[in-house]
Structure 1
Amino acid sequence: MFAYLLLVLNVSLVIANSAICSILICIIALFKFVLPTQSSKAAGTALANKVMWLWATVNAKILSISNDIDWDIQGGEQLKKDGWYLMISNHLSWTDIVVLCCVFKDRIPMPKFFLKQQLLYVPFIGMACWALDMPFMRRYSREYLIRNPHKRGQDLETTRRSCAKFRHTPTTVVNYVEGTRFTSEKQRKSRAGYQHLLQPKSGGIAYTLAAMGEQFDNIVDVTLAYPENTEKPFKDALMGRMSKIVVRTKVLPVDEQVQGDYFNDKPYKRQFQQWLGELWQDKDQVLKDIHK
């Protein structure tokens, strides 16, 4: 009974925190819209990022008060607040967004997530993410593009427009390479050969590198795990049942392995997919060791 009362309380607190911070961010965005110069707009963006930092800080406090968590965090010591980073991560639940913001909010610029177009219409959250210049992506299937070839390349153009807004303010762009949250059922259907991961999708990260690769200082490869709360980590966290969170961070160079014409150079595309596949194999081994 106490756990369900805690669930109701925490959900109410998280909603209130998200609503208040979202409204503040939207107000800042309205002022930013009428500001005359690029430097003043950048100042507005920095202020909106501080509100997002406040949102992450309050969520971290709610998480820590409600749960007795053993945080196991390793790697990423050389990261800095004034850099530009592409962050890639496995994706387990909604908890991942809160955890990434909590862990990295004081180490790197506030993360900006690539979001599905449908999330734009979520009350408070959608408008705030739009005001923070987070990219909203409308993914097209291969079959759809065959029927509608004029839509081909629009995702890349959307990414380029979004990333152009990040050039004047240090930014962390987050890409969940699997494209969806991990479940045991999805893992069985994927037949990718990973025990704790889904098949990585190279297109999204390639879009981002094509649009902004020369500006990134590093690629930040994050591995997340909730080894004692694998089934429903988000619900467990809200009910005070989260007991351990593991975060492993590797900082990778932006070198010739990830720089090239992914969309027109087929040998490079194969090499890039091989690089990402090897990265995912290493990540799966890290997760195996964690779960042991």
Structure 2
Amino acid sequence: MLAYLLLIINIFLVLLNTVFCSVMICLTAVIKLVLPFKALKFYATKLANVMMWLWATLNLKILSLSNHVEWDIQGGDSLHKDGWYLMISNHISWADIVVLCSVFKDKIPMPKFFLKYQLLYVPFIGMSCWALDMPFMRRYSRGYLIRHPEKRGQDLETTRRSCTKFKHIPTTVVNYVEGTRFTTEKQKHQTEYNYLLPPKSGGIAYTLAAMGELFENVVDVTLAYPENQETPFKDMLMGKMERIVVHIDVLPVDERVRGDYFNDKPYKRQFQKWLANIWAQKDQRLKVVYQRTDD
């Protein structure tokens, strides 16, 4: 009964926090639309980012009151708030967004996520993410693109437009390269990894093509909830979250990630191999984490 009471209380508090911060962010967006000077628009953008930082900080406070979490955070000591970063991460649950924002809110610029276009219509969340200049992506199947070739390259153009707005203020762009949340059912349909889904290189390539010259580093994050593997977000809201593992690798932006992914086939193969190697190491790291839990 206590767990379900915490669930109701935490949902209410998180929703209240989300609505308040979303409204404030949307007000800054209106200000940006009507302000005539670029300098004032710049400060309005910074204010919106501060409100996102406040959202992450309050969420962490709310959830810390009901969860006694053992945080296992490794790496990331060289990061700073005045840089531009491309962050890649495995994706397990809605809890990932809360964790990433909580861990990195004081280390680097507030993360900006690539979102599915459908999320634009979620009350408060969609509008606030739009106000924060987060890219909303339309994903088309191979069959759809064959029937509608005019849609090819639209995601790249959307990414370029969004990333243009990031060039004037330090930004962290987050890409969940698996393209969807991990589940054991989805994992059954592939044999490459034990704890991950195969990475999709196109999303990172879009971002690098749009603003690769700005990124100081690629921040590779490995997330795990060893004692709460099945329903981490629900467990977090019910006060049952026990341990959160966050492993951070800071990778250079070098010749392995610089190139024309869409027209240079040798580079494309090299890039895919680079990403596959990162994912293989991540899978091995997760194996160690989960074996420790089983023992």
Same fold (TM over 0.5): yes
Unaligned runs of 5+ in 1: none
Equivalent-residue separation in structure 2 for 1:41 and 1:114 (angstroms): 22
User: Residue by residue, what CA displacement relative to the aligned partner does 1:117-169 show, whole Å, maximum 9, x if unpaired?
Assistant: 00000011000000000000001111111100111111100000000000001
Runs of 4+ in structure 1 over 6 Å off: none
Equivalent-residue separation in structure 2 for 1:66 and 1:165 (angstroms): 38
> TM-score scaled to structure 1, two decimals?
0.99
Equivalent-residue separation in structure 2 for 1:23 and 1:244 (angstroms): 32
The structural deviation recorded for 1:38 is 2.1
Equivalent position SS for 2:166: coil
The structural deviation recorded for 1:192 is 3.8
What letter is aligned with 1:254? V
Q: Does 1:268 align with 2:267?
A: yes
- Asked if 2 retains the 8 angstrom alpha-carbon contact of 1:6 and 1:239, the reply is yes
Q: Could you tell me which residue of structure 1 aligns to residue 201 of structure 2? A: 202
Equivalent position SS for 1:129: helix
The structural deviation recorded for 1:64 is 0.7
Equivalent-residue separation in structure 1 for 2:227 and 2:162 (angstroms): 37
Equivalent position SS for 2:14: helix
- Asked if 2 retains the 8 angstrom alpha-carbon contact of 1:192 and 1:198, the reply is no
Q: Could you tell me which residue of structure 2 aligns to residue 117 of structure 1? A: 117
Q: Could you tell me which residue of structure 2 aligns to residue 288 of structure 1? A: 287
**How many residue pairs are counted as aligned between the two chains?**
291
- Asked if 2 retains the 8 angstrom alpha-carbon contact of 1:91 and 1:182, the reply is yes
The structural deviation recorded for 1:112 is 0.2
The structural deviation recorded for 1:37 is 2.3
Q: Could you tell me which residue of structure 2 aligns to residue 94 of structure 1? A: 94
What letter is aligned with 2:158? T
Q: Could you tell me which residue of structure 2 aligns to residue 251 of structure 1? A: 250
Q: Could you tell me which residue of structure 2 aligns to residue 39 of structure 1? A: 39
Superposition map of 1:1-292 within 5 A: 1-189=1-189, 191-292=190-291
User: Residue by residue, what CA displacement relative to the aligned partner does 1:204-250 show, whole Å, maximum 9, x if unpaired?
Assistant: 00000000000001000000000000000000000000000000000
Equivalent-residue separation in structure 2 for 1:10 and 1:286 (angstroms): 32
Equivalent-residue separation in structure 1 for 2:248 and 2:275 (angstroms): 16
User: Cα RMSD (Å) of the superposition?
Assistant: 0.6
Equivalent-residue separation in structure 1 for 2:5 and 2:206 (angstroms): 44
User: Residue by residue, what CA displacement relative to the aligned partner does 1:81-100 show, whole Å, maximum 9, x if unpaired?
Assistant: 01000000000000000000
